[in-house]
Structure 1
Amino acid sequence: MRKKIIAFFTGAMIVGALASGQASAAEVYKVQPGDSLWKISQKHGTSIQQLKSWNNLSSDLIFPNQKLHISADAAVNKEKNIDDVYTVKSGDSLWKISQKFGIQVHELKTWNKLSGDLIHPGQKLALKGEAAPVQTKTANTAPQQQPAPVQKETAAPEQVQESAPKQDQEPVENETSARSDGNEMTVTATAYTASCNGCSGVTATGIDLRKNPGQKVIAVDPSVIPLGSKVEVEGYGTAIAGDTGGAIKGHKIDLFIPSQSEAMDFGVKQVKIKVLN
């Protein structure tokens, strides 16, 4: 009789643990193409404001594959379990890190006092607002100094710190290599519309352009201009970097214009832009 009672409680504990794991997984939602905070709030019986609060979102902008907490309990568990500090790996960018941990690029830059998008392998980044930024340690440098990228064309051999690891001397990605005056650059601009045959009208970040024809959106190469950034475009105004395109590589952008005829008349132009955040 005693063995049966022990077996019963053991089975109950296992079932309870499985149910708890399933409930935890159900409280996290992976954003799908075409999703918006409004659609997700309706699907899960909550509100846009609660979703923004639970996930520390400062705007309505979300991205495909981003993980969102859809309950207060999940948000609390996130605060308890998320690592405070992340070590940058080769191939990382601020955009990739923000998607991995469900936070925003501008939050990472604010928490870590970054003035640009350049990061280095081995660098430690704070993943919470209350976590103090951790500076990458390199030999013979002050604690708050970051190693400067080595320009192979002009750098003399004695300028390279031999004691620092080679990977810490090269930037992960060259997002800012062609910029001048901070975040200003000249790019090749074309135009597109959401009313063409076969077009869904929904951007890579979930903005429905047919329902929001007045929204200023540009398609970008995320390795040059991070998705979600606000960008001042000469002759177009302030836009959101909210879309991508197969032909949009490097220093090229595509402007959303509601009218198909105006988009076709736009042609190809060289314009100056400034990334605001």
Structure 2
Amino acid sequence: MKNLVAMLATGIVLMSPTMSASALEYEVVKGDTLWEIAQEHDTSVESLLEINDLQSDMIFPKQKLEVYEKHLVEKGDTLYAISKKYGVRVEELKTWNELDSDLILVGQELEIREEQVEEVAATQAIKTTDSSTVTNKVEKPEGRTLTVVATAYTAECEGCSGITYTGINLNKDRNAKVIAVDPTVIPLGSKVYVEGYGYAIAGDIGGAIKGNRIDIHLPTEQEALNWGVKEVKVTIVE
């Protein structure tokens, strides 16, 4: 009896382990952006791009997106084995699924999201760069195009709130593609394509952003400094 209790406490069922996964789907509605969908489902744009094999940030109404994976627990599964399969931590699995212990049950569905640790963040930064590179190779989008002077900013600064003029919390998603604009030139809330940056939302303003100037958001101060000042083309997609 003591051995049985010990095994149950660690969530172990003595059978040959197998793995079964599915995904939570979301149907795109008019006006949706990947950033908004990522925020709603507590994930990131990079994860949505990777899971759905998207080559750009462009999405369309009625398009079905996989938001994050779900794992169906089978005989032989343990949190440790599942964490190894998906490259996450046991503690993350427990947090995402509101588990008080390592005990899991056959037939139970577990949400698999993203591990929020420093090493993974670094990997995601690399993926973001790769995604941006792919995005920049996408055929030029349709819409009104203008040439602007582009500088860069970051939420990673002393005294910065990280909240844009339209309420976007950049601290929650440092990889969010957002630009500050002059609303008389580019309307707030517009979806745009910025040469060398990719698809973004016109979600902020700035005292120095007047006329044909924009300020793009980047994850870190160093990346913002590396961007410098550039003349780029901006296409207002919608």
TM-score by structure 1 length? 0.35
Bigger radius of gyration, 1 or 2? Answer: 1
Higher relative contact order (CA 8 A, sep 6+): 2
